Chains A and B, each alone.
Chain A
């Protein structure tokens, strides 16, 4: 069989009509410009097979040839060379459908299970020294963003510290020794845990949690974050999500930028809600062990619910308060062994 086409001289762009003879013994003979080159199909360089793009054959002396009848030449090459496995995968209906399923399932699974699990491993690898450093930095940042010194009398602070130490001595096991700080933050009832185990109580929160059991519930919730190493894990997750999104967006060339950023925010919110639920469970467990009841934490959450303006749960870093209370009540009903 012989095919008409165009040949291009080595390292130049001048093209000329040429003839390629395809031998039965897999040899290619290029006739161009009153010259002839012959080579086996295994010696020449063939451009990779991809979609229906015409294959280009380049002889070892640099002459290249493209056939006019690209389909005939592509078919001949397929017949006489080993078919590329990736091209077969890309053009088979079965592997395409399988790929759709695999891609959807695995990416969903990765964001729901894989990335959080990976974050736990990575966060545990971060040395304690680094978490101290991060904790101090966060505290500094928070101070700039409107932390005021506490107005709780020294006596009451001391009492709460003693209570906090009692909680620690009971069953808190972690590399980090948590410390307690009192601050004011725009008059909001809130508590924070930092990477180095620093726990911050706002004055409004101390006021809100008016029984010592309720205060224990707040402290235990924050200790739950420390116990699970949540703060470092969130940092690692946030870093991983931004790396992934940056990479995906980099490929999207502007079209899906906003969509993907929104998705990244949604994913982070989901992770944060999971952490809150875990901390709730930790606090409820500890209270159950000690008092045989979770009523302290439920009372506290009911007060918080009455106090706060709620965001829809998909927009919030914390789960819906009703859900949180229900979750804890379920734990309280479990027979404590």
Chain B
């Protein structure tokens, strides 16, 4: 089967110029230009994504983004002000926001896909609001409810003076119940997103199972625990040696001397502990994300003929993420475009399509454009949903 890699052709230095000029213009125009800036950034990243000799395209018009952005900012200001003055009203608003979230998500995904084109054919999202409510609201709610029931049950058993049974239930809830419910929710969302994505009139399809999501969670848990144990053993050794060396000038002769040596090692241990904890979090997150992405892409087919492929690895991905964080910190934010280009280049490099890409039968869906309000609202409240 013919494999077509995806490559990202953008250059950090070139994008830095685009990014900083657009930021300066956005500041000078009191934020109005930011809509144009967003479109240029998106166009840069889509336009530099190459597949089988052709580039992707971003089609949104800045005015659409501007209108959406103004509405989103008004909502955000109102919310921020209410949050500082009227916690009750803002709590009600938050509930209202949760209630319309599935609608926002559908419109957001539809807008994003209709604004993306490859070879003159636009993508589309055809998921219904009903399906969105089931997958994005009702199922997560049921999962929370299920988890709450198990937890309450455990507490009840503790109070009935059956701590042994309660302990088992808690362990079961944390190790199996939680991940299982999460797998059920996440696989549902991923299926909903993939199955309703279209390239022109060609359908995407995938059969994602909750079982595989559960296994990925389980593997991530084991990976994290293994990493944690390994690091603990390593750190204990270092701390012990460290304490020993600082005390080396007067080799402890008594029992107290030895415990002092261990105590000074403990201080070192605590400092190292926090740093390492952060790193483990990074690695564990990178592991989960790569596993899920590889699984979802591996199951996704377009028109039953083109197979998606992702070959993400934990260590390379984690090092891209972590070095990007360092770049951003040490350049005080000015290295942001560099980090963005590095991330895009890495993600493209691990993605490929298999199959016949002549796409002779692909036709555009001829649907109208949407407004960008949902798109901007989701961005403002940081609730973009994605498969990975």
Contact = CB atoms under 8 A, between A and B. Distances in A.
Interface in A69-94: 86, 89-91
A64 to B, nearest CB: 6
A255 B325 contact: yes
B15 interface: yes
B267 to A, nearest CB: 21
Interface stretch (A9-17, A199-207, A324-332): A9-17
Interface in B6-60: 9-11, 14-18, 20-25, 27-28, 36, 40, 43-44, 47-48, 53-55, 57
B67 interface: no
B27 A102 contact: yes
Given A11-B366, A12-B121, A103 B17 contact: no
A52 B14 contact: yes
A292 B86 CA distance: 43
Interface in A141-184: 141
B21 A247 contact: no
Contact of B14 (A51, A236, A249): A51
Given A96-B16, A235-B85, A256-B333, A13 B118 contact: yes
A102 B200 contact: no
A38 interface: no
B235 interface: no
B328 A91 contact: no
B18 A13 contact: no
Interface residues of B, number: 62
B305 interface: no
A53 B48 contact: yes
A249 B28 contact: no
Contact of A14 (B321, B339, B358): B358
Q: Is the interface of A mostly helix, strand, loop or mixed?
A: helix
B114 to A, nearest CB: 14
Contact of A13 (B76, B120, B329): B120
Contacts of B16: 96
A6 B53 CA distance: 10
Interface string A288-310: 00000000000000000000000
Interface in A37-55: 47-48, 50-54
A320 B379 CA distance: 39
Given A51-B10, A256-B333, A14 B85 contact: no
Contacts of A102: 24, 27-28
B27 A11 contact: no
| Leading 6 A-B pairs by shortest Cβ distance | A99-B24, A13-B362, A13-B359, A53-B47, A11-B364, A239-B80
Interface of B: 9-11, 14-18, 20-25, 27-28, 36, 40, 43-44, 47-48, 53-55, 57, 73, 76-77, 80-81, 83-87, 118-121, 200, 321, 324-325, 328-329, 333-334, 336, 339, 358-364, 366, 379-382
